[in-house]
């Protein structure tokens, strides 16, 4: 009975924390983006050399919360002839570095872990964007066009700050509704792990003494998680049970970056070789990031 009460308490506390966090951060980001037109983003990403890649990764960190918005933006950048490397940095960073993920890491695991996570993923997105451009990845883009139905209405921005804030909140509420089921699944699984999985069991298979825990965790994350909002609560519970911090981070990066729904959508605009390269990039980032975390922490 005590275990059940602790499990339910864990579920309720984490759910409330993440709900408040998601709505607050999403509203703030949506409000900020109203002051940064997409034309300016495209212009910044068109900078020469590695600067364009860095801006692409930064834009990816600021914008979409799911593939359904990442893909249309990527198509818009392609149509605007933004440098391919900058687009790749955006595509890689977008699912891994949005403000919700970073805020969740700060709230649940601490700012040091969140900052280290950001630096590793941001650097990986920039460098791999450069590599994918230099090896001719632009040739692997399918000939597709983005249909913009109702574009004028969707881009209409109110003039008054109060109206902008209201619109931002309702957009955040819509985003939250879309991910709520995934968040509840993640918190629910995390609560069960927290309450019922023996610590010795976790240590045996994913503790600091297992050198293969990190690459295995990165692979397990692919089919297991649909969104980072699902992965992070589970990772927190596993961390509390003694799982290697590097394996937890590899799990989060692998699951969030190589989620099957997003890869399926990317396959609609990129040829299989490029989708495979993106998966490889994220897997390498997950494994290297995991080992770096193991060393630093």
98-147 pLDDT tens trace: 777 788 788 878 889 889 999 999 999 999 899 988 888 888 887 665 44
| Structure tokens, 155 | 């881009």
Per the structure, the complete domain to which residue 220 belongs is given by: 2-296
What pLDDT score does 150 carry?
Answer: 42
Say which residue, 160 or 199, is predicted with more confidence. 160
What pLDDT score does 119 carry?
Answer: 92
Number of domains in the chain: 1
Give per-residue pLDDT as tens, 60-76: 887 655 555 677 677 77
Report long-range pairs for 6-13 (Cβ below 8 Å, ≥24 apart). Answer: 6/194, 6/195, 7/191, 7/192, 7/194, 7/195, 7/196, 8/191, 10/190, 10/191, 10/194, 10/195, 10/237, 11/187, 11/188, 11/191
Say which residue, 150 or 130, is predicted with more confidence. 130
Q: How much is the pTM?
A: 0.72
């Amino acid at each position: 009975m005590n275990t059940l009460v602790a499990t339910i308490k864990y579920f309720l506390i984490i759910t409330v924390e993440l709900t408040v966090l998601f709505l607050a951060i999403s509203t703030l980001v949506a409000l900020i983006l109203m002051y940064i037109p997409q034309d300016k983003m495209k212009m910044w990403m068109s900078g020469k050399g590695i600067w364009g890649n860095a801006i692409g990764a930064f834009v990816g960190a600021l914008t979409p919360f799911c593939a359904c918005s990442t893909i249309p933006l990527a198509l818009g950048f392609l149509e605007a002839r933004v440098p391919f490397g900058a687009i790749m940095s955006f595509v890689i960073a977008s699912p891994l570095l949005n403000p919700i993920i970073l805020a969740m890491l700060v709230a649940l695991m601490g700012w040091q872990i969140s900052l280290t996570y950001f630096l590793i993923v941001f650097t990986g997105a920039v460098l791999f964007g450069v590599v994918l451009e230099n090896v001719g990845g632009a040739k692997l883009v399918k000939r597709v066009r983005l249909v913009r139905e109702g574009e004028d209405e969707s881009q209409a921005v109110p003039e008054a700050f109060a109206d902008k804030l209201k619109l931002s909140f309702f957009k955040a509420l819509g985003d939250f509704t879309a991910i709520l089921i995934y968040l509840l699944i993640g918190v629910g699984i995390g609560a069960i792990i927290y309450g019922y999985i023996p610590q010795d069991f976790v240590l045996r298979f994913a503790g600091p003494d297992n050198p293969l825990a990190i690459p295995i965790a990165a692979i397990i994350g692919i089919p297991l998680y649909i969104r980072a909002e699902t992965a992070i609560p589970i990772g927190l519970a596993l961390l509390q049970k003694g799982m290697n911090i590097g394996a937890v981070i590899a799990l989060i990066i692998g699951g969030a970056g190589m989620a099957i729904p997003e890869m399926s959508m990317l396959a609609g605009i990129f040829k299989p070789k490029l989708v495979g390269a993106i998966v490889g990039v994220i897997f390498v980032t997950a494994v290297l990031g995991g080992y770096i975390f193991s060393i630093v922490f």
